[in-house]
Amino acid sequence: MTRILGVDPGFGRMGYGVIESVGHGQWQAVAYGCLETSPKKSLIARLQELRDKIKEVVKEHKPTLASVEKLYFFNNAKTALDVGQARGVILLTLLDCGLEIYEYTPLQIKQALTGYGRAEKGQMQKMAAMVLGVKKPIKSDDAADALAGAYCAAVNL
């Protein structure tokens, strides 16, 4: 059985979503959420906290591969640097966990899930829930983006 961990990178909030195949090109959500770090901690401490939380998610849900969203554009250079560092920690942690990693741009992820590369957050949340059999609305943009990233990997396998 294929189980995919999708990650929407961030250092303050990192979305994750785990999906698994249920046959004939169908996928279902297993778990999703948002891992948050304390803004009162230093960036280094927050990166360490992210690493530890990612390891917990991998240990609990046992994905067979991972999908991580690529960074594309930020208005704030400091935020871009911090998220870039978080993304590096995320990638290395997933590699240390033995996972094969696929990377997709936000455009590719939106295209795979909605058929439209410029879909808005609300559309992504609704489509992720519908395609992955989630009964309740997905309230976190980060979790919906992570589920969408996992789905993008699934349809591109």
56 is in an annotated binding site: no
CA gap 18, 28 in Å, rounded: 9
Which class does domain 3-155 fall in?
Answer: alpha beta
Is 8 known to sit in a ligand binding site?
Answer: yes
Q: How far apart are CA 148 and CA 117, in angstroms?
A: 12
CA dist list (Å): 17 to 31, 40, 147:
6, 26, 4
Q: Which sequence spans correspond to the domains of the chain?
A: 3-155
The structure's pTM equals 0.96
Active-site residues: which are they?
8, 69, 142
Over the stretch 31-75, which tens digit does the pLDDT of each residue have? 999 999 999 999 999 999 999 999 999 999 999 999 999 987 667
* Cα–Cα distance measured from residue 39 to residue 67, given in angstroms and rounded to the nearest whole number: 26
pLDDT of 94 above 70:
yes
Q: Residue 105 corresponds to which tokens in the numbers above?
A: 């741009």
Q: Which two structure tokens, joined as six digits, stand for 103? A: 């990377």
Q: Was 69 annotated as part of a binding site? A: yes
